[in-house]
């Protein structure tokens, strides 16, 4: 993680991250110019990485304690803990102090075999950054995996070098106040917030890299920006329940 990353309560702010101390000044300048370009013409978003098997191997995530079936290696549809991803963070929740009981989240301990709820369910820590999202028409004739017609929206965009983008990552368009905090646009009776912000899944992510300069070109790979495609998530999808406060 870059040493200049700004952190505070809630998602981390990545607009000052340009690299570590050993990063060449030319690379830092290019990264800063790309970020300035995205901040001027782009949209503020909260980016959350979807956990996968590689994160489990690195010890960052584990199988969902509420729905993962070891026999069939499958997850439960609309799981409120992992949001049907199948993986959660190894870090326990220190914000809401909830527990997992019979595949649901509860606020009190009733059984001995209950688990502490994970801090990040399905998607890792959030980062506030800026990405350029081109306008695109909504294709109402696209057929979903279940064989029904759904409204979907796809576009290709540009993002800064950090945070690193992966396929299926979650990008949420947000509005920020002067302190770079997320504005709450809607509060439902069930306590769910920011459900009106459009949410997308990233696809076809591709880093744009520079190999180095002169003698430093050997075994050097400096990422300066990223390109991606994005698919709009239907409003009835469980991914609209992924919290943005962490």
Q: Are 132 and 101 in contact (CB under 8 A)?
A: no
pLDDT at res. 59: 93
Residue 95 or 212, more confident: 95
Q: Is 131 exposed, middle or buried (0-12, 13-18, 19+ CB in 10 A)?
A: buried
39-48, 141-150, 162-171: the lowest-pLDDT one: 141-150
CA distance 198 to 205: 19
- pLDDT at residue 150, as a whole number: 58
Closest CA to 132 of 204, 35, 205: 35
180, 182, 183, 188: CA torsion to nearest 10: -170
Strands (E) located in 51-198:
61-63, 87-89, 99-101, 104-106, 115-116, 123-131, 139-143, 149-152, 154-160, 170-173
Instruction: Report the distance separating Cα 98 and Cα 108, nearest Å.
Output: 7
Candidate from 30-34, 57-61, 142-146, 230-234 with smallest mean pLDDT: 142-146
Half-sphere exposure of 68 (CA within 13 A, CB side): 14
Question: Using omega within 30 degrees of 0 as the cis cutoff, is the peptide bond preceding 157 cis?
Answer: no
Do residues 130 and 16 lie in contact, with contact meaning Cβ atoms separated by under 8 Å?
no
pLDDT in tens, 151-182: 555 567 899 999 999 999 999 999 888 888 88
Range 84-98 burial, b when 16+ CB lie within 10 A, else e: bbbbbbeeebeeeeb
CA atoms within 13 A on the CB side of 204: 10
- Name the band, by pLDDT with cuts 50, 70 and 90, for residue 213: low
pTM: 0.80
Average pLDDT over residues 41-63: 93
Check residue 210 and give its pLDDT.
82
Short-list 196, 190, 239, CA closest to 78: 239
Domain coordinates in residue numbering, the chain: 1-49+125-246, 52-121
């Amino acid at each position: 993680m870059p040493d200049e990353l700004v952190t505070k309560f809630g998602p981390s702010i990545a607009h000052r991250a340009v690299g570590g101390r050993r990063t060449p000044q030319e690379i830092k300048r290019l990264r800063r110019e790309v970020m300035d370009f995205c901040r001027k013409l782009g949209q503020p978003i909260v980016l959350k990485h979807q956990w996968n098997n590689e994160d489990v191997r690195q010890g960052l995530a584990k199988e969902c304690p509420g729905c993962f079936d070891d026999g069939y290696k499958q997850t439960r549809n609309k799981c409120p803990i992992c949001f049907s991803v199948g993986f959660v963070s190894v870090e326990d929740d220190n914000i809401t102090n909830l527990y997992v009981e019979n595949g649901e989240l509860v606020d009190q301990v009733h059984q001995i075999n209950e688990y502490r709820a994970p801090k990040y369910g399905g998607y890792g820590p959030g980062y506030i950054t800026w990405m350029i999202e081109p306008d695109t028409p909504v294709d109402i004739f696209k057929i979903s995996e279940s064989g029904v017609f759904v409204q979907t929206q796809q576009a290709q965009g540009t993002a800064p070098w950090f945070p690193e983008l992966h396929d299926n990552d979650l990008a949420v368009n947000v509005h920020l106040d002067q302190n770079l905090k997320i504005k709450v646009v809607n509060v439902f009776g069930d306590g769910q917030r920011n459900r009106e912000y459009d949410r997308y899944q990233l696809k076809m992510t591709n880093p744009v890299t520079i190999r180095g300069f002169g003698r430093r070109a050997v075994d050097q790979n400096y990422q300066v920006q990223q390109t991606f495609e994005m698919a709009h998530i239907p409003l009835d999808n469980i991914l609209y329940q992924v919290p943005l406060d962490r």
